[in-house]
Amino acid sequence: MKRVFAFAILMIGFSASAHAQAMSKPTNAAWAGGGAVPASGGASGSASAPIPHIPATHYNVTAASGSAADFVPSSFVTFEQAVAAGHAAQARPKTIVEAAAENKSVERPKAKFELVQDDSGQAVIEPL
């Protein structure tokens, strides 16, 4: 059943492209099936239009990524340093509980200003 379905899809795809080619209209009267041979060459009696010439597109390409100041050459590390870096990369990631506990223990920056209400009921920003 899968083969029949795949074959049907394949045939529909091929027939759609053939139908699109057959529906194209000639742009030159010589290609319309007459006895004249077109100036660009080809057999007479063909129902397809000649392919138009489109000049090649030329792009100006410049490759730039950073500057000489941004470049940091790689350096050689000893085997022990490489193994230590590999073990650090394979370390067990923190659980949500551990990350939350660490986040809770971090000292937060204190506010430098305070929003208070003056005697007339207006909000005023005062330094602490």
Rounded alpha-carbon distances, angstroms, from residue 36 to 22, 39, 44, 47: 21, 9, 6, 13
Question: Alpha helices of 1-128 — where are they, by DSSP H?
Answer: 2-22, 79-89, 96-105
Exposed e or buried b for every residue in 27-55, given b needs 16+ CB within 10 A?
Answer: eeebbeeeeeebeeeeeeeeeeebeeeee
Token pair recorded at residue 70: 């941004």
| Interatomic CA distance for residues 61 and 82, integer angstroms | 39
Average pLDDT over residues 77-82: 89
- What's the confidence (pLDDT) of residue 86? 87
- What's the confidence (pLDDT) of residue 65? 73
- What's the confidence (pLDDT) of residue 103? 92
Q: Where are the domains of the chain?
A: 79-127
Average pLDDT over residues 116-128: 91
Statement: residue 33 has pLDDT above 60: no
Q: How many CB atoms lie within 10 A of CB 26?
A: 16
Which region among 13-22, 79-88, 119-128 has the lowest average model confidence (pLDDT)? Answer: 13-22
Tell me which of 15 and 33 has the higher pLDDT. Answer: 15
- What's the confidence (pLDDT) of residue 71? 67
- What's the confidence (pLDDT) of residue 46? 54
- pLDDT tens across 88-103, in order? 888 888 899 999 999 9
- pLDDT tens across 48-67, in order? 788 888 888 888 887 777 77
